[in-house]
Amino acid sequence: MPYEVKAVVAKSAKQAVSVETILVPDPGPGEVLVDVQACGVCHTDLHYREGAINNEFPFLLGHEAAGIISAVGYGVTTVNVGDFVVLNWRAVCGNCRSCLRGRPQFCFSTHNASQKMTFNGVPLTAALGIGAFAEKTLVAAGQATKVNPLVEPEVAGLIGCGVMAGLGAVLNTASVSRGDSVAVWGCGGVGDAAIEGARLAGAHTIIAIDIDDRKLDWSRNFGATHTVNALGKTNDEVVEQVRALSNGDGVNVAIEAVGLSDTYKQAFYSRDLAGTVVLVGVPGPEAELSLPLIDIFGRGGQLKSSWYGDCLPSRDFPMLIELYMQGRLNLGAFVSETISIDEVEVAFGKMERGEVLRSVVVM
């Protein structure tokens, strides 16, 4: 018997989202049903609503979630009814050419539930294959990662996307280590998680760049040692300031967590020779980048992109939750407010105006 539940649906591009009743099927083979307890509002949800990801409306939004397994389908052995889980959007397959090379964190064939949840008989596209602004959601068993049930759901859920993306960009993708200098463009949930990751890894200088002083103030709570307000500045002026804060040479690691060509260029030129640039921000479909090829060659180092912090959920989620439980990871500070499922559209506005790091829907 399918379940009728309340959920946040985006029906068409650039239109306000609404709370609707959707149908969630019983789990089939390899699928699990999750009673969602909390789900954070991420900028990627807004990208979906704007039609910037793809045009497969209607979308069921929400993907930074934690909850309890309430039913499992045939053949599921990794989780049981009653388990507390954080949902992930990269359930690795174990069989693709990347998994077979021992690199499951880059799995080329991640999977979601086979069955679709529906709204008025129309299949919903679940954001990042999750769709968790809903009382119940259906995912592939590999998308549900068991973690310590003593953690608050509104905190745990954030590990499922933005916080993991930021922490992982620094810890996994860039392998920041003790004594490194790091600069981070964009101090939203993702950028601040990168700053938190740099602090955790023992980075020496951590420079936060944003266009909003409020965001820069918050970034200091996560470990930024210096801040740069880029509002109204040219790319060259921002680069000059970042380099001045890092001995005039530039930083070892530059993390772009906005998704714009200009901030990417700033990151590229703020980096010391042989340094690393990591693109974490999701660019719009029209964004293009033009750089002198000689500068790419001449400056050496690495230009990387980081999806989901190159994480392996089964390895990283329980570990990060334990660090939080031990008081060594400042996850609680990402939760600016808890809201009801009816307030997601209002939360998008707050996010656009820079008033919150994360609004988290609590069911």
Between β-strands 181-185 and 205-210, what pairing exists: parallel, antiparallel or unpaired? parallel
Characterize 267-305 residue by residue with b for buried, 16 or more Cβ atoms within 10 angstroms of its Cβ, and e for exposed.
Answer: bbbbbbeebbbbbbbbbeeeeeeeeeeeeeeebebebee
**Cα distance between residue 196 and residue 164, in whole Å:** 11
230 contact choice in Zn ion, ligand NAD, none (CB below 5 to 8 Å, kind-dependent): ligand NAD
CA distances from 35 to 31, 40, 172, 227 (A): 13, 15, 30, 41
Torsion angles phi and psi, residue 16, rounded to 5: -55, 140
Q: Taking contact as CB under 5 A, which single stretch among the options 156-164, 264-272, 304-312, 322-330 is the one that binds Zn ion?
A: 156-164
**Which listed residue (6, 11, 47, 103) binds ligand NAD by CB under 6 A?**
47
Q: Which of residues 43-72 bind Zn ion (CB under 5 A)?
A: 44
**Which listed residue (19, 23, 68, 96) binds Zn ion by CB under 5 A?**
96
**Which listed residue (282, 320, 344, 360) binds ligand NAD by CB under 6 A?**
282
Closest approach, Cβ 290 to ligand NAD, in A, equals: 17
Closest approach, Cβ 221 to ligand NAD, in A, equals: 14
Q: Which is nearer to ligand NAD, 31 or 192 (CB)?
A: 192
Per-residue x/- mask for ligand NAD, residues 194 to 233, rule CB under 6 A?
Answer: ---------------xxxx--x--------------x---
39 binds Zn ion (CB under 5 A): no
Q: Which is nearer to ligand NAD, 27 or 131 (CB)?
A: 131
Q: Which of residues 305-324 bind Zn ion (CB under 5 A)?
A: none
**Cα distance between residue 79 and residue 99, in whole Å:** 21
Q: Where are the beta strands (DSSP E) in 82-218?
A: 84-87, 118-119, 122-123, 125-126, 136-140, 144-146, 181-185, 205-210
Going by the DSSP 8-state scheme, the letter that residue 7 receives in this structure is E
162 binds ligand NAD (CB under 6 A): yes
Sign of CA dihedral 267, 272, 273, 279: negative
99 contact choice in Zn ion, ligand NAD, none (CB below 5 to 8 Å, kind-dependent): Zn ion
Residue numbers at the binding site for ligand NAD (CB under 6 A): 42-44, 47, 161-162, 165, 185-191, 209-212, 215, 230, 257-260, 263, 280-282, 306-308, 351, 354
